[in-house]
């Protein structure tokens, strides 16, 4: 059955409640985006999420929406603590896949002469690609347990970061509900030697520069200036997180049957939040999320060391400091005001980013005046954006915005489009140095495989759920 969609305004579209839906759907998109979406299955997934028990508010989709496992990528849904459910499909396989953004004192002109050496140094220090690992950082069982419980703090306490890194990370780099006893031996095994690795697919390390400030006052609070070198890191929980999801899906299919939850799609298998199965999944998910926080922190240390070694500058001279680390595949307990009263909700963000407004108590003091900073990466050949959260976003989307550009070509179609092309040379002509573990991933990640992130951000800004602060251009891209 085709999904009925009604336009509310230039950037909002309603999927009216029908059939088994418990609420309506709300999609943020331009007309051109919606024309494409009508040909895809992602709108059906928005509708399916609206059928889940205990959903609060609409089933939401950000403008980077595209088809995913269970939930659409770009999907957001909040669930009541008593009547609601938790679904691994609303988090994803790469639990706490996320991004972090660092700033430096360097300018693009200062760095360009040493860019090839620096890029190669980072590529050598941060293993990338399918199955990449760090034998030199293999964890004992006791160490791994502490990583799963403490997240980025475990890394910082070993001299690979600072208290400021933790303060500027979502949840200070650690989800408290973690319980390593909920992980299978296979999940633990897969995580023993992958800490500090990038992985493959759309994961990356980018050396960028600030091309334009779009809000100078907020940019000043973030320490951004034109021409400034920044570094973005995008990766998650690697094989450990994948296995946690894979294990949970089997348990959740049994749970859905046990609790008589009618599923429009098996990929939306779920369990009540207050059930044993629901609590066990959240505890395992928190472990994977903490592993991802630790992973990005180890990579950050390697990137800082590469800068110091290549440029011959100390940490004080470089000032390569963290602006923000945010998750975009996670379910978190949050307090939200809905329909006139405070409610405790479990907010699923699948390919969507938390973006709390100014004054929110979860934000560090340094960002309370401006709102939560968010990095929205584009494709490897164009640009990325820095945004901050808004009060309207808090009211409409539970404080959520997009997480990137969103795919328009499948990986298979992207490879066909890239056949016999020299993507490395194409990137070089655009002034971008590309380093990758293999050509297959590069082919999957060509620019035309993605929406133009500028159009995605424009919808977010037009809707008032986020505010643009700066546009960043890539100088060098490291892919898996």
Does residue 403 have an active-site annotation? yes
Report the topology of domain 6-479. tRNA-splicing ligase RtcB (3.90.1860)
pLDDT single digits (tens) 84-105: 999 999 999 999 999 999 999 9
Looking at the predicted structure, is the pLDDT value of residue 391 above 90?
Answer: yes
Give the pTM.
Answer: 0.97
Looking at the predicted structure, is the pLDDT value of residue 122 above 80?
Answer: yes
> Would the CA dihedral through 361, 362, 365, 371 be positive or negative?
negative
Helical H segments across 271-410, by residue range? 276-311, 315-318, 391-397
Domain ranges of the chain: 6-479
pLDDT value of position 437? 82
Categorize the per-residue pLDDT at 399 as very low, low, confident or very high, splitting at 50, 70 and 90.
very high
Categorize the per-residue pLDDT at 135 as very low, low, confident or very high, splitting at 50, 70 and 90.
confident
Lowest mean pLDDT among 44-48, 336-340, 403-407, 436-440: 436-440
State the number of CA atoms in the 13 A half-sphere of 317 facing the CB.
Answer: 8
Number of residues in the chain: 480
State the Cα–Cα distance between residues 7 and 33, nearest whole angstrom. 12
Nearest to 443 by CA among 460, 424, 462, 467: 424
pLDDT single digits (tens) 181-194: 999 999 999 999 99
Catalytic annotation, pick one of 203, 234, 348, 403:
403
Write down the mean pLDDT value for the chain: 96
Looking at the predicted structure, is the pLDDT value of residue 465 above 70?
Answer: yes
Of 289 and 2, more confident: 289
Q: What angle do CA 458, 461, 463 make, to 5 degrees?
A: 105
Mean pLDDT in residue range 425-438: 94
| 8 A C-beta contact, residue 399 and residue 425 | no
- The total of other beta-carbon atoms located within 10 Å of residue 249's CB is 19
Mean pLDDT in residue range 375-395: 97
| 8 A C-beta contact, residue 239 and residue 118 | no
pLDDT value of position 438? 81
Report the SS3 class of residue 41.
coil
pLDDT value of position 137? 87
pLDDT single digits (tens) 206-235: 999 999 999 999 999 999 999 999 999 999
Mean pLDDT in residue range 167-182: 98
Categorize the per-residue pLDDT at 132 as very low, low, confident or very high, splitting at 50, 70 and 90.
confident
State the Cα–Cα distance between residues 60 and 348, nearest whole angstrom. 10
Tokens of 257: 């049957």
pLDDT value of position 1? 65
Nearest to 103 by CA among 393, 321, 379, 355: 321
Query: Could you give the C-alpha distances from 248 to 52, 258, 284, in angstroms and in order?
Result: 18, 15, 9
Looking at the predicted structure, is the pLDDT value of residue 441 above 90?
Answer: no
Give percent of the chain above pLDDT 70.
Answer: 100
| 8 A C-beta contact, residue 43 and residue 37 | yes
pLDDT value of position 129? 84
């Amino acid at each position: 059955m085709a999904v009925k969609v009604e336009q509310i305004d230039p950037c909002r579209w309603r999927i009216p409640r029908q059939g088994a839906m418990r609420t309506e759907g709300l999609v943020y998109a331009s007309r051109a985006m919606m024309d494409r979406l009508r040909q895809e299955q992602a709108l059906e997934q928005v509708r399916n999420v609206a059928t889940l028990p205990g959903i609060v508010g609409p089933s939401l989709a950000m403008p980077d929406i595209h088809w995913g496992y269970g939930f659409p990528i770009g999907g957001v849904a909040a669930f009541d603590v008593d009547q609601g459910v938790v679904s691994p499909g609303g988090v994803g396989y790469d639990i706490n896949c996320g991004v972090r953004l660092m700033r430096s004192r360097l300018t693009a002109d200062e760095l360009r002469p040493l860019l090839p050496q620096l890029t190669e140094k980072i590529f050598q220090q941060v293993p990338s690609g399918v199955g990449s690992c760090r034998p030199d950082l293999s964890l004992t069982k006791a160490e791994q347990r502490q990583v799963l419980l403490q997240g980025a703090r475990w890394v910082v306490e070993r001299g690979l970061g600072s208290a400021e890194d933790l303060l500027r990370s979502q949840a200070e780099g650690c989800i408290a509900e973690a319980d390593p006893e909920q992980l299978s031996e296979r999940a633990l095994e897969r995580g023993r030697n992958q800490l500090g690795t990038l992985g493959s697919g759309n994961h990356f390390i980018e050396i960028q520069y600030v091309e334009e400030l779009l809000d100078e006052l907020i940019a000043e609070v973030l320490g951004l200036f034109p021409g400034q070198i920044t570094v973005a890191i995008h990766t998650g929980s690697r094989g450990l997180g994948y296995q946690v999801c894979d294990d949970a899906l089997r348990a959740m299919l049994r749970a859905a049957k046990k609790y008589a939850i009618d599923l429009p799609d098996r990929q939306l298998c779920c369990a009540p939040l207050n059930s044993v199965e629901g609590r066990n999944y959240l505890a395992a998910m928190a472990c994977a999320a903490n592993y991802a926080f630790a992973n990005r922190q180890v990579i950050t240390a390697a990137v800082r060391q590469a800068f110091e070694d290549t440029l011959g500058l100390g940490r004080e001279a470089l000032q390569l400091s963290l602006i923000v680390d945010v998750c975009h595949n996670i379910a978190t307990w949050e307090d939200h005001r809905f329909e006139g009263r405070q409610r405790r909700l479990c907010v699923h963000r699948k390919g969507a980013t938390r973006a709390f407004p100014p004054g929110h108590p979860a934000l560090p003091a340094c960002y309370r005046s401006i709102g939560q900073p968010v990095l929205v990466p584009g494709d490897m050949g164009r640009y990325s954006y820095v945004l901050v959260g808004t009060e309207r976003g808090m009211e409409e989307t539970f404080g959520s915005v997009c997480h990137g550009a969103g795919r328009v070509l499948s990986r298979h179609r992207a490879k066909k489009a890239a056949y016999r092309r020299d993507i490395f040379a194409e990137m070089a002509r655009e002034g971008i140095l590309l380093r990758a573990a293999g050509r297959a991933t590069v082919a999957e990640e060509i620019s035309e495989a993605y929406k133009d992130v500028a159009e995605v951000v424009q919808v977010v800004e037009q809707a008032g759920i986020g505010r643009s602060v700066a546009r960043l251009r890539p100088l060098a891209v490291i892919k898996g």
